[in-house]
Every structure is written in structure tokens, then in C-alpha cells.
Amino acid sequence: MSEIKELREKMANLATEARSKLDEITDKTDEARAADIEREFDAMMTEHRKLEERLERLEALQRAEERSREIDTSRRPVPEGEARGNDDGNQAVSYRDAFHLYMRAAGQVGMLSPEERAVLQAGYAEIEQRAQTTGTNTAGGYTVPTEMQAILIKSMAAWGPMYDEDVCTVIMTESGTSIQLPTVNDTAKTGVASTEGTTFTDDGGADAVFGQKTLDAYSFNTEWLRVSLELTQDSVFAFEQLLGDLLGERLGRLANTQLTTGSGSSAPNGIVTATSAGKTTASNAAVTADEILDFVHSIDPAYRMSPKARIMFNDSTLLALRKLKDGQGNYLITEAPDGSGRMRVGAVSIPYSVNQAMASIGSATKPIVYGDFGKYFVRKVGDPVVGALQDKDFYPGFGVTGYVRFDGELGDTAAVKHLIMAV
């Protein structure tokens, strides 16, 4: 479709313009100008998201139309001597059709044509069987169509801000070996006045002190979804997309929760767990506008000026904050013309993210975090994996599961802090 090409070009141009706009913010940019630039940047990204949603719908429609044509071809009576899935020898068998034909044959590979078996073998990935260490063709360890992985990634991004590379700093790796991140905090040190004829002090007290953070790779899975052969046959048009959405939502919720409140012990160090307190409220059941001001200003201005500086809370806390007003009677939470949410603190407005994994306002809870989220590192090992296998325990049918590896750590503890409620 020509419209798909046009949308991709518009998205690329918008991304270039947004990057150029963001680069205008420097250490010398005052807060008011930085806020204006951020609003313009947010407007561009909102438009980019709208184009992306339109593109996804068009691409989904295009895939559905292609699948419909492929399925109609595979269901046509095949004249004797003609290879199934071919039209005058030019139309190749798709992996999706070969997979469904395999399931309709109840896992009997011998019922498939040589071409269909070749297509399955080309898309096959070794995965663990219930009674074997690696899969074989006759055991039926075939992966689901590749479209499912793309659906999975989109769903994960939609289920929480902490897995989003636009919010945090994401590091993609192929292997899961530990990554060491060197750190240094030299903000407490400065220079001293010199006296003529006096030797400079050299006692080691001004030496820079370095530290280290480690990013590991923790594994998570969705457990098995059991799928009957009948359901596969009856839901041939959209069943893969349904499974991809379900598995993506499960992994997405899990990833966002771990990166938000993970314990840091054999698990990601969630951003709430990793941060220190920036403000303790006077009440255990409510937050005041002045406390929000104190909390925001507990973060050094250098971090508040970062393009990835934001405040984060869940939806119930957002409702409570919507009711707060400053000393002039203005609400703290404002909605920008482009629909993006921002919180106004004094003369500065900052973007906010709604994260349902955050705690609600209550005794001793930590309902709000704020700071430069670019200092929170999310390590992803490859892409999430979706696998399917034939299983004798619920034959005829197959099982589908999702698997992902990641970790999270706050590299600079001064960059992000949490607000904690009184006991």
C-alpha cells in the first residue's frame, strides 16, 4: 500500500525533527524555555504515536488480507498431481498455512507434502520437550508464526512505562552475561583557594571515588497455554494474534512490575526499591501541594532539566493529585493541548507517567517517584521468545508459552527519589 510507505516517511521525518528539537536543550537553557521545547517535543511524539497506530492498523489489515488469500488457496481442492500450496508453480506455501495444516493432521508430519515439511523445518527452533532435551521434526517442536513475536513486543510496551525505551535507558544484548556499569559521584567535592608560595594539598582527600552497578539477566515465562486442535481450526484467521496479545500482556505486566518494585535480590532492582526518600508527608492518607513542591526540589536541578525527567504514580494517586491546587488556586495537573499529561510545579511543568504497579496513597507507602529516568537502566537480552509444541499430555492440540530475560538498576541514586507517606 502506498499509504503505508507515506506513513513510514512521515514518522521518520517526525522522529528526526523531534531529535533536533530535543537537542536544543543544553545546560544553558533556562527552565521556561526548556519547558516550551519539551511541550513541542511531546506534541511531535504524540503525532508520531498517532501515525504509528494508523500504520499498525494498515499493516494488520494487509496481513489479514494476505492470510485470507493464502487460506483460500490452501482450502481449494487440489487436482491430482498438483503440489498443494502452488498456483502454476509460482505461489509458495506460507509458514502460517503449513503450521495449521500440521495441526489439522494431528501432528502427523507424514500427512504433509515435502514442500510443507520444508517450510516447517525452515521455521523450526530447538526447544525443550517434556520428555526430550531438544525437539525433532517427528516430535513436533515447531515455533508459531513470526508475526506473534512482533505482537508480543507491542503489547509489552503498552503495559507499563518502565519497559519503554522512551522513558528509561535501554541496553540490548545478545547474551545474558553480567554487565558492569562504573559509577562516580563527585558532586560533594570542589576546588579550594590557592595561596601564593604554598604547595597544593596532596593527601588523597580530593580523589574521585568510583563505584559499580551490575546488570544481570533474570528469566521469566508465562507458563503454558494449552490449545485444542478444535480451537485452532475454528479460529484460523486471528488465533495467533489473540495468543500474542495474551502472552504479551502477561509478560508486559510482569516486566513493568519487576522494574517498578522488584526486590533487587535475584530479581531486577525496581525503581521504587532503588530510590531514597526525597520527602515524607505529614499525613498517612493525603499529599499536599507544598509537599509535592518540596519533593520535586529534593532533586538537583541538573536532573530536573534532563529530557527524561518525569514524575510517576498510579491512577488513583493521579486522581488525588488532580484535586490539588497551588497557592494561586491553579490545579497542579494540567492537560497539554496535544493530550499529553503534565504536572505544573511552580513555574515549571513536567511530564508524568501512570504506572499501575506503583503503590497507592496509604500509610508508609511510596506512591510517587520523580527524577531523571534516563539514569535507570533496563537490560534486555534479545527479543522475547514465543514457542509452541505438540504435547501428548493434552493431545490433540499444542501448547504455547512466552519467555523473556531482563534486568533493571538505578545507576545514579541521586537522580531519582520517592515520596513516602507517614506511618
Structural element, H or E, at residue 371: strand 368-372
Of the ranges 81-90, 119-128, 330-339, 351-360, which one carries the lowest mean pLDDT score? Answer: 81-90
- Cell numbers at 118, concatenated: 520444508
Correct CATH for 144-188+210-423 of 3.30.420.40, 3.40.366.10, 3.30.2400.10, 3.40.50.300: 3.30.2400.10
Query: What pLDDT is attached to residue 140?
Result: 36
Stated pTM of the model:
0.63
Average pLDDT, the chain: 77
131, 133, 135, 136: CA torsion to nearest 10: -90
The answer to whether residues 279 and 294 touch, using CB atoms and an 8 Å cutoff, is yes
Query: What pLDDT is attached to residue 286?
Result: 94
Higher per-residue pLDDT: 120 or 383: 383
Query: What pLDDT is attached to residue 120?
Result: 64
Question: Cα separation of 166 and 124, whole Å?
Answer: 33
Structural element, H or E, at residue 409: strand 397-410
Q: 408 pLDDT exceeds 90? A: yes
Query: What pLDDT is attached to residue 80?
Result: 45
Higher per-residue pLDDT: 175 or 407: 407
Tell me the residue ranges of DSSP E strands in 229-361. Answer: 276-280, 309-313, 333-335, 341-345, 348-354
Higher per-residue pLDDT: 212 or 220: 220
pLDDT, tens only, 237-258: 556 667 777 888 888 899 999 9
Name which of 270, 231, 219 is nearest 376 in CA terms: 270
Query: What pLDDT is attached to residue 151?
Result: 58
**Percent of the chain scoring above 70 in pLDDT:** 71
Query: What pLDDT is attached to residue 81?
Result: 42
Structural element, H or E, at residue 38: helix 31-75
Domain boundaries, the chain: 2-76+86-122, 144-188+210-423
